[in-house]
Structure 1
Amino acid sequence: MNQIPLAQYYALTADAIESVYDKPERQEDLAWLRDKVADLLEGHTVLELACGTGYWTRVIAPVADAVHATDIGEEVLALARERQPEEDDNVTFAVADAWHLPESVGEYTAVFAGFWWSHVKREEQDRFLAQLRAKVGKDVLLVLLDNTYVDGSSTVIARTDLEGNTYQFRLLPSGERVEVLKNFATDSYLRKRLSNAARDIRIERLPYYWLAKARLK
């Protein structure tokens, strides 16, 4: 099975990325999350990592002081720019690798990452948080949003590697089946990982998603 780099996978599937938000059974969770994310980030200067096509950027922008939305893929950023309402002129977009943020990353009071944590290998999560903390500084609010695995709604897990990372088979528009890293964290595991780099950790678990907030330390 071909294991495809995440940036390439999302570049090839950019047009369909937001269709996952159309699943009927997830609408109640998503309505709650949109309100909660907006409430948490109201008034903040936000660095958004792996913004994709900008679904959550459009949630955050109306309430934030400013949003700098980044992604490694120009293909998804092009759609994010196109879909961003003109009235939300507090948003900037830039190509940036969440693992290698520029030294002049800027001054932010909050970092938001939607559906990025699940694409970070378990053995690399501590390193990711450490480099993020080094770039944005301490006391910055960290908000993470990701999936809960639900039989019948989530894509089936195809395999688990020796480190405990899980992988799914997904279809490209060409019909080719590829393998994509997708981890599903328990609350206890999340708390353990986040505690190495953050304090004041709060996790809220919904049927289809989880939301974590913390302060980088």
Structure 2
Amino acid sequence: MNQELLNYYAASATELESVYEQPERQADLAAMKGRVAELLRGHKVLELACGKGYWTRVIAATAASVQATDINEDLLAEARRDAPANVLYVQADAFDLPASAGRYTAVFAGLWWSHVPRENQERYLAHLRAQLGKDVLLVLLDDCYVDGTSTVIARTDVEGNTFQLRPVGGERFEVLKNYPTDSYLRKKLANAVREIRIERLTHFWLLTARLK
């Protein structure tokens, strides 16, 4: 993971889930939580970049089991304080997962895909397929860019990645944050997955597919 992004998440740990408290997002959040819980009902789920476990708790309500991973041990320590019985929190780098084919039936990432550089996305999907095996359900949930609510885009690089400047405790971090269109998602994922379905509300989008 990009070191600047690691530094940002370490510095912003106390306010990491504040995005889920914004009043204008509550209706969309309620709808998405219902969809995620239903999609992952009965599954053995691997969660990527779980943070403090916001989506972990949603998934655990219906899933058979959840292994929730994050690279930041401090965030995991907070998540473990309120861990459902069917959840195991494990420190792991989402970009360097151990082989576990057949162990999981689904993989979930909430507000994480937008931090994967565009030039690395296809390679990362190949990594998921190699480590988890084919036919695993992929569920990606992320946020949409909304004028007046989202942090403004500070710059765009040659690959088309967009970056935001986010202040935390007197410091300012340049954070990679992409906002893909449906057509871009379909094109980028086409070689790695099948049965792509995308749902989009004002503040969030949800993609489901099967690893090939």
How does the TM-score come out when normalised to structure 2?
A: 0.96
Moved runs in structure 1, 4+ residues, more than 3 A? none
The answer (yes or no) to whether the contact 1:4–1:178 under 8 Å persists in 2 is no
> Is 2:71 the counterpart of 1:72?
yes
List gaps (5 residues or longer) in structure 2: none
The answer (yes or no) to whether the contact 1:111–1:143 under 8 Å persists in 2 is yes
Identity %: 65
Q: After superposition, give the CA deviation of every residue in 1:146-177 in whole Å (9 maximum; x if it has no partner).
A: 0110010101110000110000000112x111
RMSD between aligned residues: 1.3
The answer (yes or no) to whether the contact 2:197–2:208 under 8 Å persists in 1 is yes
- Equivalent of 1:118, from 110, 114, 120? 114
> Is 2:193 the counterpart of 1:194?
no
| In structure 2, distance between residues paired with 1:118 and 1:83 | 27
Q: Which residue does the alignment assign to 2:176?
A: 181
The answer (yes or no) to whether the contact 1:44–1:110 under 8 Å persists in 2 is yes
Deviation at 1:79, TM superposition (A): 1.3
Letter in 1 for 2:197: R
Q: Which residue does the alignment assign to 1:210?
A: 205
Change (3 A) 1:130 1:4: closer
| TM alignment of 1:40-189, pairs within 5 A | 40-84=39-83, 88-104=84-100, 107-173=103-169, 175-189=170-184
> Is 2:15 the counterpart of 1:19?
no
| In structure 2, distance between residues paired with 1:184 and 1:198 | 20
Q: Counterpart of 1:178 in 2: which secondary structure?
A: strand
Letter in 1 for 2:135: D
Q: After superposition, give the CA deviation of every residue in 1:85-138 in whole Å (9 maximum; x if it has no partner).
A: xxx211001110111002357600000001111000001100010001100000
| In structure 1, distance between residues paired with 2:132 and 2:39 | 18
Number of residue equivalences: 211
